[in-house]
Chains A and B, each alone.
Chain A
Amino acid sequence: MSSSDTELIGTGLRKRTEKALNDPFLRAAVAYTTDKLRSGRLAAMEEFGDWEQWRSRAREIRAHTIAHLDYYLGQFADNVEKAGGIVHFCSTGAEAVDVFLKIARSKGAKLVAKGKSMVSEEMHLNHHLEQEGIRAIETDLGEYILQLARETPSHLIIPAIHKNKRQIADLFEEESGQPMPPETKALAGYARQKLREIFLEADIGLTGCNFGIAETGAITLVSNEGNGRMVTTLPKTHVVVMGMERLVPTYDDVEVMLNMLARSATGQKLTTYTSFITGPKRRGDLDGAEELHVIILDNGRSAQLGDPVFQEVLHCIRCAACLNVCPVYRHVGGYTYGSVYSGPIGAVLTPLLQQDMKEAGQLAYASSLCGACYEACPVKIPLHDMLVQLRARKVKLGLTPWTERAAFKIYATGFGNVKLYSWGAKLAHYAMKPMARGGQIRKAPGIFGGWTQSRFLPMKPKRSFRERWAELQRELQAEREKQLGGEDR
């Protein structure tokens, strides 16, 4: 799906699911890479030791920061400004786009070199820049590939997870007009050469922010390709776009978080490059931007503050461990979620950020509630519980079909009373009987059609366990007496 034909979330969920499931290349590529990331994470956890303790510590840091977010945002902004940076608080994506465009215009910018930033995807910045006649080039290899393909990221940290080497080579061939072997070395070499020109030419470097450190106003960026360093030091102006929750209080805290982030994301101890940027270039510095702007974006985040059920979603450090273990993500990939944020975290975050339970809320059903996401989350966000709570919110708002509401009313009455339950069970047996062959139902009508599309449904036996119970008790009693009799002799 290209960014230009982004469908409404929810209405298209079924269609997008079908499309993904019928794409064997996508499924193979996603499964292959998530498998690698999963085993890498497990090995890194093992080697690190005391994972659960680290996890608890990381959760505490996030919980504390988010609980006192107003304080830390104030401290962070003050320190950014003390270091010579300029802070812009924006409540919506549109506002943040405007701020960025103003900066770009004042610099007469023609070319923006971008480091990885999910928030800029969230505010559709590239699209707006294009309309203004400003070229924005993604310099993260994955994102660069997607830009050539006119697609958006389908994974938080491996944005082009759904592409294989052949597809990437085809894109590079098209761009360069030269034949390109589908080999990692050649492909990376080509991108490196292309991107170097961009780093040198760009008027503005734009990045996201993995963590902002409140005590100093520093910004931390992690990368494995080194493009983060280039983007932040070569162009004269550096603009950081960050979600308002992306803070930690101190350097000690960021040490814990970086350890957890790299291990959870890729199974690395640390990423190849970790940059700390405090303010613009100072006198005597050999490199660095001359001007540093920090755009801090709310865009629906503050609505979660104080929410007893959903505040913890702001703890997320965007490591994507939940995507890599999610059996749904594994089969359908990122685009099925129809959002910048995919996988279990996306299914929770998207309806909350967009404050849209109707369409985006459909994503809450794209989970079997297996809990693998919670188990993998380095900051213990109970995503599986949140998905259930989102469904409950949908029910409360009256956004579920009336047939479903009626069915659960009947369920509550029928299963809330044992007489009705037993009577209903008998009825079910006779209703199923004509459909069964050899103890199995191969094709069921109505809502159970979805079940039998891929599985047989066993026929319900005539006698329930409770109907057998009295007889079983007598049998067991007789056995016991026989045993006791035997012992007596």
Chain B
Amino acid sequence: MKVSLFVTCLADQMYPEVAESVVRLLHRYGCEVDLPELQTCCGQPAFNSGYQDEARAVARNLIRAFEHSDYVVSPSGSCAGMVHHYYPDLFRDEPEWKAKAEALVAKTYEFSQFLVRVLGVKDVGASFPYKVTYHPSCHASRLLGVREEPLELLRNVRDVEFVDLPKKEDCCGFGGTFAVKMADMSEAMVCEKAAHVCETGAEVLVGGDMGCLMNIGGRLNKEGKPVRVLHLAQLLEEGVKLR
């Protein structure tokens, strides 16, 4: 199966190890992964700030990048959610681009969604002997509807001690430019989230979106809390090696 990696600007530039884990796992299940060179960002920072023309310019570039792909897989629920939830509407006045946007929507998946729904993999055969808690990101769950898939994969990891995160459905306060523009509100939210993570006594916080994890991890680091922050793909890949 041919799969194109929609690496996202954040994973590409800040968290290459996350993208690598995604590729290694897909490779394990026989996927032939390519990295379309043209891609940069999904346009979400501009779109969410109200700059729709600017978002369209960047979105067109992404659509072109994956025009010839069969499947597009992303380590981010937020960026995949941007494509699914907003791209068709963003091009509502341009029928040709709208059709192209819809074609991209039809083949775009978030990583855990692709693993569970398309490849039918629920158990990667990992072992991870640590205490773990999970933060479901808002865009993956609410915009994209990916709720069960990451949990299904986590449930099948051996030796893991899974602890529920209190108020897990509350936003961590990232929200892209929100964290910068409304820094005070964002701070109040991330502090509460970090406190909940610590309350669980977990050694590892896992999630499916590097935006949220950068935010919560950045707070935990500032507080000097010894919690490892991992993307789900990293945890699974490390768990496969540990087995």
A residues near B (Cβ < 8 Å) are 14, 17-18, 21, 327-328, 330-332, 365-372, 374-375, 388, 390-395, 400, 404-405, 408-409, 411-413, 415-418, 421, 425, 428, 440, 442, 447-451, 453-458, 460-461, 463-466, 468-469, 472, 476, 479-480
Q: A417-B61, A418-B40, A460-B14 are in contact. Are A392 and B173 (CB under 8 A)?
A: no
Q: Is B156 an interface residue (CB 8 A)?
A: no
CB contact under 8 A between A332 and B188, given known A412-B57, A418-B38, A464-B13:
yes
> In the complex, which residues of chain B have a beta carbon less than 8 angstroms from the beta carbon of A394?
50
A376 to chain B, nearest CB (A): 10
On whether the beta carbons of B61 and A416 are closer than 8 Å, the reply is yes
Question: Is B148 located at the chain interface by the 8 A CB criterion?
Answer: no
> Counting CB contacts under 8 A, is B11 at the interface?
yes
A408-B54, A412-B54, A461-B14 are contacts. A453–B183 as well, Cβ < 8 Å? yes
Say yes or no for B60: interface residue by CB 8 A criterion: yes
Known contacts A412-B57, A416-B40, A454-B187: does B12 contact A464 (CB below 8 Å)? yes
Which residues of A sit under 8 angstroms from B217, Cβ to Cβ? 458
Stretch of B99-107, B113-121, B138-146 at the chain-chain interface:
B138-146
In the complex the two chains form, is B50's CB within 8 Å of A392's CB? yes
List residues of chain B with CB within 8 A of the CB of A461: 14, 16
Does any Cβ of A come within 8 Å of B80's Cβ? no
A368–B186 touching, CB < 8 Å: yes
A319–B27 Cα distance when bound, in Å, is 49
How many residues does chain B have at the interface if contact means C-beta atoms less than 8 Å apart? Answer: 67
A-B contact list, 7 entries, CB within 8 Å: A370-B170, A375-B142, A390-B50, A395-B50, A451-B183, A455-B222, A457-B214
Taking a contact as CB atoms under 8 Å apart, the answer to whether B222 and A456 are in contact is: yes
Contact code string B168-185 (vs A, CB < 8 Å = 1, else 0): 011101111011111111
In the bound complex, residues from chain B placing their C-beta under 8 Å from that of A21 are 184-185, 188
Does B189 lie at the interface of the complex (its beta carbon under 8 Å from any beta carbon of A)? yes
Chain B hits for A367, CB < 8 A? 175, 178
Q: What residues on B are CB-neighbors of A440 within 8 Å?
A: 221
A interface SS class? helix
Q: Which residue of chain B has its CB nearest to the CB of A35?
A: B167
CB < 8 Å: which of A365, A388, A390, A456 contacts B182? A365
Which chain A residues lie closer than 8 Å to B47 at the CB level? 388
Contacts of B24 in A (CB 8 A): 476
Q: Is the CB of B180 within 8 A of A454?
A: no
Instruction: Give the chain A neighbours of B40 by CB distance below 8 A.
Output: 415-418, 421
A454 and B219 form a contact (CB under 8 A): yes
Residues of A contacting B240 in the complex (Cβ-Cβ under 8 angstroms): none
Residue in A17, A413, A448, A466 with the greatest tally of chain B CB atoms within 10 Å: A466
- Docked pose: A463 CA to B19 CA in angstroms: 13
Asked whether B142 lies within 8 Å of A458 as measured between CB atoms, the reply is no
- Binary CB contact string for chain B from 3 to 21 against chain A (1 if under 8 A, 0 otherwise): 0000101011110100110
Check B52–A395 contact: CB distance below 8 A: yes
Residues of chain A within 8 A (CB-CB) of B60 are 416
Closest to B47 in A: A388
Any A CB within 8 A of the CB of B215: yes
B43 contact set on A, CB distance < 8 A? 415
B188 touching A455, Cβ below 8 Å: no
Identify A327's interface contact among B35, B53, B173, B222, CB under 8 A: B173
Contact B39 A393 (CB under 8 A): no
Decide if A400 touches B50 in the complex (CB within 8 Å). yes
Cβ 8 A contact of A456, one of B13, B55, B175, B221: B221
Cα A14 to Cα B12 with chains together (Å): 34
B51 near A476 with CB under 8 A, answer: no
Q: Which one, A395, A425, A472, contacts B51 given CB within 8 A?
A: A395
Contact A372 B171 (CB under 8 A): yes
Which of B38, B46, B186 meets A408, CB within 8 Å? B46
Q: Does B41 contact A (CB under 8 A)?
A: yes
From the candidates A411, A451, A463, A469, name the one contacting B46 in the complex (CB within 8 A).
A411
B residues near A455, Cβ cutoff 8 Å: 190, 215, 218-219, 221-222
Are B169 and A372 touching (Cβ within 8 A)?
A: yes
- Interface 1/0s, chain B 48-68, versus A by CB < 8 A? 111111110110110000000
Q: Which residue of chain B is the closest to A449 with respect to CB atoms?
A: B183
Is B94 part of the binding interface, using a Cβ–Cβ cutoff of 8 Å?
A: no
The 8 A-B pairs of least Cβ separation, nearest first, read A368-B175, A391-B50, A450-B183, A455-B218, A370-B171, A412-B54, A371-B142, A465-B16
Q: Which of B118-172 contact A (CB under 8 A)?
A: 138-139, 142-143, 169-171
Cα A54 to Cα B190 in complex, Å, equals 34
Chain A residues with CB under 8 A of B143: 371
Q: How far is the CA of A391 from the CA of B50 in the complex (A)?
A: 5
Q: Are B218's CB and A369's CB within 8 A?
A: no
Instruction: Point out the residue from A371, A395, A451, A476 that lies within 8 Å of B23, measured CB to CB.
Output: A476
- The answer to whether A392 and B188 touch across the interface, beta carbons within 8 angstroms, is no
CB–CB A391/B49 < 8 A: yes
Q: Which residues of B contact A409 (CB under 8 A)?
A: 54
Q: Are A368 and B51 in contact (CB under 8 A)?
A: no
Contact of A465 among B20, B139, B188, B215 (CB under 8 A): B20
Q: Does B37 contact A (CB under 8 A)?
A: yes
Which chain B positions have C-beta within 8 A of A331?
Answer: 185, 188-189, 192
The answer to whether B50 touches A472, judged by C-beta atoms less than 8 angstroms apart, is: no
With A374-B142, A394-B50, A404-B49 as known contacts, state yes or no: A368 contacts B171, CB within 8 Å.
yes
Given the complex, which residues of B lie within 8 Å of A372, measured CB to CB? 138, 142, 169-171
